[in-house]
Amino acid sequence: MNGNVIDGKAVAAKIREETAAKVAELKAKYGKVPGLAVVIVGERKDSQTYVRMKKKACEEVGIASFGADLPESATQAEVLAVVAAFNANPDVHGILVQLPLPKHIDEQAVLGAISVEKDVDGFHPLNIGRLAMKGREPLFTPCTPLGCMVLLERCGIPIKGRRAVVVGRSNIVGMPAALLLNKRDATVTVVHSATPKAEAEAICRQADIIIAAAGQAQLVRGSWVKPGAAIIDVGTNPIDDKTKASGYRLVGDAHFDECKAVAGAITPVPGGVGPMTIAILLRNTAESGERFLTGAVKVSGAEKKQERKGLAKLLPTREQLASPLPVLAAAVGVAAGAVLQRATAGRR
């Protein structure tokens, strides 16, 4: 930290360094490295930029990079076929589908088709379901929310027993962040677009930790912040700025200057959460590669066999079948991921 400003770049650099060391260790021991496949559909410039950044990041830590660049006109069947091919490729240990997808493609169907053992983005319903369950852990956790937790932990900011408020309820950040905070024994409240603004402000003022992920520029003001609170700002919003050559600058969902004057710790935008997202993606991929290379996950030539193995991990054991309650809990967990994704799709 620099004063009360959290240096996300420094933390992300450390994670990349750790990941590069893990990849080198796997290569020395098994003669192979983890592989990440990125699927992009369409020609959105922002998506193409993100994909290039991910490929470059893979190269820097020694992860093998695979890709499929499909046109905007690609059918859902074509996208699913590409995902199936990567599911069956033994050199690919992580699959990421760049969002958003074109409107004619069912995003949930595509994300659900990714093998749960290769879901390094953490959005498969089975991974989200396990994240929602007490006493269970997902194979992978969504990268940005996990990055938020890592920033808190590596900066020595306590979570257990603290009041935490998540501003926003998106599938990508808000909801998983709330689940992660709950798993770390915080008392969690979610405020969102249907929460009256005055009420949202009052709730935030009670928080020891605020995760700002509403997608609204400078929503969280200094008056919303309890003195000494930690603010993790996930927002990246362009606002007009004639002093910049581009004509704009990026700001977060929290008003940085106002909140910095009150908070005990705060992430800047840019340079806070952003670098963590790719760093966690690389770490997830390295961990997945390690599972495959050590035999913790058995490689199957067929996607359906892989999916059955992934599902089997979430179903009750023979011993659990003796009691109806664990069976019910397992069934609820499997369903929870899909319900959370569909119920909150597109909402903040």
How are beta strands 237-240 and 248-251 bridged, if at all? antiparallel
- Of the candidates 206, 199, 258, 264, the one whose C-alpha atom is nearest the C-alpha of residue 231 is 264
CA distance 139 to 131: 9
Buried b (16+ CB within 10 A) or exposed e, 288-326: bbbbbbeeebeebeebeebbeebeeebebeeeeeeeeee
- Residue 97 sits at φ, ψ, to 5 deg, of -100, 120
Residue at 142: amino acid letter: P
Active site residues: 54, 98, 121
